[in-house]
Structure 1
């Protein structure tokens, strides 16, 4: 088993980053035969950034984590190898006033889950939610799906961006197709969950174990001095 945990803070705590990866396996030996019966991996990446805006503070957060595991159960050998995988990519921002009261907020989360076994059983669900109440996409599929359910609950898929790409640090987020009813036009673009263009957060893929881009806030611009009258 291996475990990596890296944490980074800016001197003024305006930027925080946690990058973690844990993975391992278990091997069962019977006589001269060795078999891997359990294998897992869990990468985790969390960033928080704060920027001063007029009379307020904007806090931006991004969470990306993934859990994958494959197992063989000796007492349930008929199932064969069982594999599960789930990934979540969430991003949001919160604006608070000088007294710490929330003024506005915005959030989006994308999560997928898959299950497969050696008997051909499968189940998958893919969900994309905006601001907790707006469902952009919710799909279910697989052989284990109850017969009373359709294969796809809703098909308002408007983004094929991989889940391991940061929603806050990429400019390639798809905006094709009309926005679902009730959502703003920029609900599917980085402009909805990032700062203005000159304050865009750029990615850093050099950190060991990082499952996605880590966000860094740009250096503050020096204030111009007004000449004395």
Structure 2
């Protein structure tokens, strides 16, 4: 099913790939392997993945940040983010599938199941104020953070070619990323001024497990700041 060009689908519940061996896709904009298209809307009470091969694909042209997907998602399916700027904000604590971002920006404002995962590839960005399972930022992938907001996850692996882009204001003690278990640091840290940035102590990561420090370099910083 493809919902595009500002179209709307109204239903009670959408069940995706319920049977073993079944395959079904729900596309917002274009299909995963097609050209991006304008997003449509699902006006439904929920989207439930079954034991088959079910996928929810975001491949749309909205780059304004205004597109929000507020449908509760449950089950072990796959969410593929190919293009566009999408905010997931539906209550989805029963989604224990895999998120794969290969393009665009995905903001997770929902609390997802601890058994979920997210992999962010080159050219894609992940941020938000929600909660995920295990997160991996691949080479060329971006993790977004903003002071005053916090993204929580079970574990976090930053690859050597990954980027962490943060917006910081005045120094503060609250972290931008809360990692319940293990944290692997690498890649580069890029800082932009949210207003009031200056000398002081900033807390970027909290973690509750083991720290593997593979070396994080300082990339871009506000004018006048010395790394």
Under TM normalisation by the shorter chain, which class is it?
A: under 0.3
Asked which structure has the greater RCO (Cα within 8 Å, sep 6+), the reply is 1
- Alignment TM-score, normalising by the size of structure 1: 0.25
Bigger share in helix? 1
**Larger Rg over CA atoms:** 1
Bigger share in strand? 1
- Alignment TM-score, normalising by the size of structure 2: 0.25
